[in-house]
Amino acid sequence: MSPDYQINYTHSTLAIQLRGDWILDSEYPDDFDDELERQFKQNSDIKQVTIAMEDVTQWNSALLTSILSLKKLCVQFQVSLDSSQLPDEMIRLIALSSKVPKRNVDDHIAKNTSFLHNVGSNVITAIKDVGDVIAFISNATAAFFRMLKGQSVYRSSDTWLVIQQTGAEAMPIVSLLNFLVGAILGYIGAMQLEKFGAEIFIGDMVGVAMTREIAAIITAIIMAGRSGAAFAAQLGTMKVNEEIDALRSMGISPMEFLVLPRMIGMMLMMPLLAIYANFMGVFGGALVAYGMLNITLEQYLSVVIKSVTLNDVGAGIFMSMVFGGIVAVVGCQKGMSCGKTAEAVGSSTTSAVVTSTVIIFVSAAILTVIYGALGI
């Protein structure tokens, strides 16, 4: 039945009678809202509006929208609306749509706080975050030792899957970027060394730089953006879906079942990726040395072999293991501590990448100083 309406104005009262199916699928009367506004403007002495829908067979949000528009007109023209003849469901929906969220006084106060208050709040938040990370690391370490004792509950297949994702599947991007970094180092070195007639030492510069630090740092940044973000997104989504709570309810430790395989896989693959990155970086430098300086591959490799020591290689491998632990711990910690909304998952993923990158560079600086003090 097509929707229809009748409007009568008597004794300062505007009576509205609705009939038919007031749903979007039917021939909805587009002139209903315009007619209501015309009635208000034409009859300036309206004191009350009544609306009845006893003859309405079906209705949905389309009718609710029209009644809300009518309510706005009543407020605008200071007219009372009598909704007593409406169904209880419609009255509840109108009341629900008219609710205004309670003003949060604390948020308003926080915006007007002093500079020192904001600095103190940020410092307290940072200290709390550091404490959470330390607690997470201690729990992860305890889970690792339980694994060594054979007391942890996790699936070895998950570890192999992480090894595949963080190892073989990461090789293309690791190859490309480290090759380009080696080529860039070789190009810059070639321009400078050529001025002094010391072109042959380009292999020395590229080999030591790549094996000692650059390959490990570049690979760690790649894995932070690739795998660390994936860890945070995976665990964050599991928390949103309450899968982590389900594991706890079954007596399974999420730290052992979810975090431990990711930590093991990342820490095992990072040294191997760093060694592979060393070769790609040296190869990139070799290509530049041959193309710009006409240095043969044999000459280039002989310089690299003489200049690069086991200490350089070992320093880079140890650094990559530290970086692998950082990426895995930060990614898992951000995922496990995120909120239960889609926005929180995105924020935790972004935070995991940014935090990992910052800690990687800080750790690289600290390890470089330590290597220098130890004479490595």
Q: Tell me the Cα Rg of the chain.
A: 34
Same domain, 91 and 148: no
Would you say the C-alpha torsion 288, 293, 296, 298 has a positive or negative sign? negative
- pLDDT per residue over 56-94, tens digit each? 887 877 778 888 888 888 888 888 888 888 888 888 888
Closest by CA to 240, choosing from 345, 333, 136, 330, is 345
Residue 193 resides in a domain: yes
Check residue 104 and give its pLDDT.
55
Burial of residue 308 (CB within 10 Å: 0-12, 13-18, 19+) is: buried
Neighbours of 44 (CB within 10 A): 7
* Domain co-membership, 157 together with 88: no
Would 305 be classed as within a structural domain? yes
Cα–Cα separations (whole angstroms), residue 312 to 199, 214, 224, 372: 22, 11, 23, 12
How many domains, in total, are found in the chain?
A: 2
In a shared domain, residues 191 and 287: yes
Predicted local confidence at residue 218, as pLDDT: 94
- What confidence score (pLDDT) does residue 102 get? 57
Whether 323 maps to a domain, the answer reads: yes
The answer to whether residue 234 sits within a structural domain is: yes
Q: Which segment of 65-79, 154-168, 214-228, 343-357 scores lowest on mean pLDDT?
A: 65-79
Residue-number span of the structural domain to which 22 is assigned: 4-97
**Same domain for 90 and 176?**
no
H or E segment to which residue 50 belongs: strand 48-59
Question: Which of 40, 72, 97 represents a domain boundary (last residue)?
Answer: 97
In a domain, 365, yes or no: yes
Q: Is the pLDDT of residue 109 over 60?
A: no
What CATH code is carried by the domain that includes residue 78?
3.30.750.24
Residue 152 lies in a domain: yes
Q: Do 206 and 81 belong to one domain?
A: no
pLDDT above 70: percentage of residues in the chain: 94
Backbone angles phi, psi at 362, to 5 degrees: -65, -45
The pLDDT of residue 47 is: 84
Collect all residues with Cβ–Cβ distance below 8 Å to 85 and sequence separation of at least 6: 50, 51, 52, 53, 54
pLDDT at position 146 over 90: no
Residues 80 and 165 in one domain: no
**What are the pLDDT digits (tens) for 315-362?**
999 999 999 999 999 999 998 888 888 888 888 899 889 989 999 999
CA dist list (Å): 220 to 172, 299, 372: 14, 31, 22
Instruction: Please provide the average confidence, as pLDDT, over all residues in the chain.
Output: 85
How do residues 180-195 score in pLDDT, each as one tens digit? 999 999 888 888 888 8
pLDDT at 175 over 90: yes
Q: What is the pLDDT of residue 101?
A: 58
Q: Do 187 and 264 reside in the same domain of the chain? A: yes
Instruction: Assess whether 255 and 330 both reside in one domain.
Output: yes
Q: What confidence tens digit (pLDDT) does each residue in 13-53 have?
A: 888 888 887 776 666 676 777 888 887 888 777 888 888 88
65 and 184 both lie in a single domain: no
Instruction: Tell whether 154 and 270 lie within a shared domain.
Output: yes
Instruction: Provide the residue type at 256 as one letter.
Output: E
Domain final position from 97, 129, 158: 97
Q: For residue 106, tell me if it sits in a domain.
A: no
Closest listed residue to residue 129, CA positions, set 324, 333, 290, 266: 333
pLDDT score of 272: 93
Two tokens at 214? 């650059």
Do residues 63 and 161 both lie within one domain? no
Q: Are residues 187 and 295 in the same domain?
A: yes
